[in-house]
A and B are shown apart, each in its own frame.
Chain A
């Protein structure tokens, strides 16, 4: 991963620089017009969050059942990124909804459950920061809970009646819209990898510092 980091940064930069051109080329949606172009950052934000939740959930399970501290560092880093990408989705969504629905927020199942999922991972970070000794295990259990809940949040629009578009919208997009969306989705997933690499490096340095303090005290 370390060797691939520099080329990965270049690829992510190239994707984000070229994205505005492809987004501008995509046609307007018939009923929403220009505002629908928020989709090209809103949907990838959630893809980024789900990727982070997946990594955090798996790494937390490895840490919880095998006591692997390296996995714990990945879990903590991915949890922070889940909050970051979730925040992007929670901010860009209301900006889109204000024009498309006439309201900033609607307490429907998709929006509320997405907010709760975000709060689960905010809770994870708070437990780790203020939970004292052993809080890593409790945080790992919280992450597994968030990982288990995420598919329900995704499918909520198909199960319950909501104002949010259904999951069938994205797979049925015409090629002229699906192309730019695939490009930005790839850019967000690669951005997640770049940020994860940096954040894991920070976690490793912090672990090294803790070991140095212990050695110094001895």
Chain B
């Protein structure tokens, strides 16, 4: 076999492989597209007020209210301790003054 014929044979073999690859790719494309199912088209638009209450309610205000309540409760409790402690200390001072006067 001459060198020119061998080269032509190789090119032919490469071209055949390329044609087969393109054919396979084209054949697989519809299958791949068929697997991506699009959602069904909407038949009507529903206003948010018609959804169940749990779905239309925003979560953020409830979440913020919960976290804020915990903080407010702690701060109010700390304030009551501070106020009661101040009251006791004042009474102790008053009592000490009365005792000294005697």
Contacts and interface: CB of A to CB of B under 8 A. Distances in A.
A99 B77 contact: no
A102 B91 contact: no
A208 interface: yes
Interface stretch (A90-98, A130-138, A164-172): A90-98
B74 A209 contact: no
Given A100-B54, A199-B81, A92 B95 contact: no
B59 A34 contact: yes
Contact of A209 (B53, B63, B92): B92
Majority DSSP secondary structure for residues of B touching A: helix
A193 to B, nearest CB: 13
A205 B62 contact: no
Contact of A96 (B53, B66, B70, B73): B66
Contact of B69 (A92, A205, A209): A92
Contact of B66 (A87, A95, A195, A205): A95
B24 to A, nearest CB: 39
Given A34-B63, A88-B70, A95-B62, A202 B95 contact: no
B46 interface: no
Chain A's interface size range is: 20 to 34
A34 B59 CA distance: 6
A38 to B, nearest CB: 5
B98 interface: yes
A198 B70 contact: no
Majority DSSP secondary structure for residues of A touching B: helix
B81 A202 contact: yes
A202 B88 CA distance: 8
Nearest to B53: A102
A48 to B, nearest CB: 10
Contacts of A212: 92, 95-96
Interface of B: 52-54, 57, 59-60, 62-63, 65-67, 69-70, 73-74, 77-78, 81, 84-85, 88-89, 91-92, 95-96, 98-99
12 contacts: A41-B67, A84-B74, A84-B77, A91-B73, A92-B66, A95-B65, A195-B74, A198-B78, A205-B85, A209-B88, A216-B95, A216-B99
